[in-house]
Structure 1
């Protein structure tokens, strides 16, 4: 929770000039609100009762001018409130994206993207209420309430005490309602996370649902999971209704007491009609604003669980990146006695591996042999249990992780294609023109400018497996790193493109290549071949 509070405080400091402006405008509005009932009293007592029309016009003109100024001030405040809230939402998305870039990828493997996206979006929506106008205006109402109490006391102390009696009563049921609401919202976040994860699985697994005729089973589960969430939302809504009903009953009781006592004073000529109207106005300055001020506890009950959830996300483990060194020119990459285990099972055991600048090395192994783990170790997504991974004879952890990864052109077994043109999926950094892309990819495939305008859907779902793999390979060629790390890049290629891939590997003459595959071949263009089996890496060529 501390992390999110610090980020919110940091944002508020950057907005301090806008808050100062809002405070000044609020102060002026409060002063106007304080004097308006007194001016109304003067219109009635000094103008109407004494039949002095000039005073009626004079004080009415002052009220009109004050009201115009107050409304202009309200518009300016509303604009600034909206801007502050929108900027805070942008700020939250930015710090979340910054966190996603640094987060340990193992944290994201526990759920699907739909669950993460929907939950974070809901959390941002809730937390942004901190800078919502309805929340920030509470400070205005707090000052208005204080002004109202002063105004009431100026007119009659006994009436003031009657009005103030309702505050502790309201506070008692507000505390009870908000405690329950906070419990509901905490449970609602947990249930929503589980639902979004399940819902995302339905979308990703829609083919299986169709093929296995799982409609009835999935509909039954949907009804069960939705009922759980909807019941909690219903409970939260009803708490709001109960609170509003209690407010209305309490306010009505206070008004009846005021009318009873104040009516007695007016009828006995102890209080003027103008003073009574002013008193009623000041009463409204207290009753409604105090209801709003105390309603902040309801807002906090909604915000607090999301703040905790966002803070937990922002405090998630990050990739280890203590290194400060720049890589410079690549010379060699070496594994020395590297071991890695998962769930107490050895995936890699005492592995040695070496690739020098300009060499082409193949690593072969069947599915599940640990090839992907080897790739993740090279890319520093995970760290070895024991042993060392050296780049240019220094531990890879000595290098800045982003600079280190810039060394590699990667065609991974699992890659993502963005909903964009082929051009922008080839060149993710948008640094190359069409001629550069064509030039860099020609050692694998001949491209033309027209095909690069083709739009693809999210993750290339409108492409075949082979076409997706081609995009990944061209992407690696466009990056043109010093080391080409190709993980199962031949998995979805037909015979024609397998031949093209072999030619590409041969033509990467000045590049270092680490080619990981389950496909057995003669590897005549490789300087070394390793076989990964039973958690051990053995050089066979």
Structure 2
């Protein structure tokens, strides 16, 4: 799954500087959060209990040597003075923490939104540069869904990844550092509980990817039904097919309801399961920690800091797992997007020669063309001289539109050549070549804009 997300960098120019700045400010905010928590110890032990601060018996020795002079100095201050210092420190720390969180979220949001914006543009640009064979295989609603729904789904995931996944991960790591510093043996016993909680949660998320793929396919079908009923509304009404289209829509719409319900059921189960499991398991830890105070192995301040940090892991952990479930669900959109971006157009590479207009004739030399190995044109030989007016007549499906499409290079022949003034049309740059061709489709197309803009379309 993660490899599919990382693959995006192969298609876009990623703004890594925003990711770097966001990470720096994230680390700074997490560091201040840890320092703020550490004020619990002097507050409880020195100010409230008015006892001297002592390090736990299992505190790392090399860190104890560094902290002892500072703790001795702190113990020499009167409790009221320590309280004033603590209040001043917490005001400054929380202010800076808020600034760093804002900057971190801002840079992460710029980073993620830029990816979504560029990806949407990349897909649209790819659409417009694909040959017509691609569009003949795909329905309009499905293609619209790729740009609107799939990229929109990824955009939500990108925007939630940093504040709801990466930030909680760093937060959990900071809490783990705190509890391991206080008592590594007690910490090992405590965190052994969490993998037992994670196993059933991970099993719940396995189904989410499959459900995510199903809902995207169903949305594509609904979009296609809507497009067909709008563009073909005259035909629908003429043949009294309103009820048929409504029934189709209702069927797929009901499928979406069931899939969303299934996704929500699995996602909503995660939070209460983690909360109950965490509290249930922690009851033993509270008893075990209480015995340490009784034996004098740990002060009440350090024990409170330990439990506060330990229980604070539950909230971010819930967020991480819920966001992971959403990431898993959204990842099902990536293969569909990559399919479009990796699709190889069947139009050969265009030439470099500039086309300056027809001078003599257009010639088809032994031209054949097939749709999925079904030939509609075979060994066509035709010469149309400049100034001639011709009509191509034939039954439906005989290849009239295809013949004209070959001149425009909507497709390339399976075999044979199309020549203009003796030169293969593949030698010309497509933009310069098509500028000299007027095209009137069988079905009129009206673009959004004024009548004048539609009449002068292409000028």
TM-score, normalising length from structure 2?
Answer: 0.85
How far residue 190 of structure 1 moved from its aligned partner, in angstroms, is 2.3
**For residue 42 of structure 1, what is the aligned residue in structure 2?**
42
How far residue 343 of structure 1 moved from its aligned partner, in angstroms, is 6.3
Which SS does the other structure have where 2:99 is aligned? helix
2:60 is the counterpart of 1:33 = no
Provide the C-alpha distance between the structure 2 equivalents of 1:185 and 1:32, rounded to a whole number of angstroms. 38
2:216 is the counterpart of 1:189 = yes
**Aligned residue runs from structure 1 range 342-421, under 5 A:** 342=371, 346-357=375-386, 359-368=387-396, 369-421=398-450
2:355–2:432 contact (8 Å) kept in structure 1: no
**Aligned residue runs from structure 1 range 97-136, under 5 A:** 97-135=124-162
How far residue 336 of structure 1 moved from its aligned partner, in angstroms, is 1.4
Provide the C-alpha distance between the structure 1 equivalents of 2:4 and 2:129, rounded to a whole number of angstroms. 16
Comparing both structures, which one devotes a greater share of its residues to strand?
Answer: 1
TM-score, normalising length from structure 1?
Answer: 0.73
**Aligned residue runs from structure 1 range 265-280, under 5 A:** 265-280=292-307
Q: Which moved more, 1:416-425 or 1:234-243?
A: 416-425
**Aligned residue runs from structure 1 range 79-478, under 5 A:** 79-135=106-162, 138-330=165-357, 331=359, 332-342=361-371, 346-357=375-386, 359-368=387-396, 369-428=398-457
Comparing both structures, which one devotes a greater share of its residues to helix?
Answer: 2
CA RMSD of aligned residues (A): 2.6
**For residue 80 of structure 2, what is the aligned residue in structure 1?**
53
2:26–2:167 contact (8 Å) kept in structure 1: yes
Between the two proteins, the alignment pairs up a number of residues equal to: 428
1:55-91 superposed Cα distances (whole Å, 9 cap, x missing partner): 1110121111110000111122222233223222210
1:142–1:293 contact (8 Å) kept in structure 2: yes
**Aligned residue runs from structure 1 range 3-14, under 5 A:** 5-8=6-9, 11=12, 14=14
Provide the C-alpha distance between the structure 2 equivalents of 1:58 and 1:9, rounded to a whole number of angstroms. 52
2:49 is the counterpart of 1:22 = no
- Going from structure 1 to structure 2, the CA distance change for 1:101 and 1:213 (only over 3 Å counts) comes to closer
**Where does structure 2 lack aligned partners over 5 or more consecutive residues?**
51-77
Provide the C-alpha distance between the structure 1 equivalents of 2:453 and 2:18, rounded to a whole number of angstroms. 40
**For residue 531 of structure 1, what is the aligned residue in structure 2?**
none
How far residue 54 of structure 1 moved from its aligned partner, in angstroms, is 1.3
Which SS does the other structure have where 1:403 is aligned? helix
1:247–1:291 contact (8 Å) kept in structure 2: yes
How far residue 319 of structure 1 moved from its aligned partner, in angstroms, is 4.2
2:165–2:320 contact (8 Å) kept in structure 1: yes
Provide the C-alpha distance between the structure 1 equivalents of 2:289 and 2:373, rounded to a whole number of angstroms. 80
How far residue 138 of structure 1 moved from its aligned partner, in angstroms, is 2.8
Higher relative contact order (CA 8 A, sep 6+): 2
1:30–1:144 contact (8 Å) kept in structure 2: yes
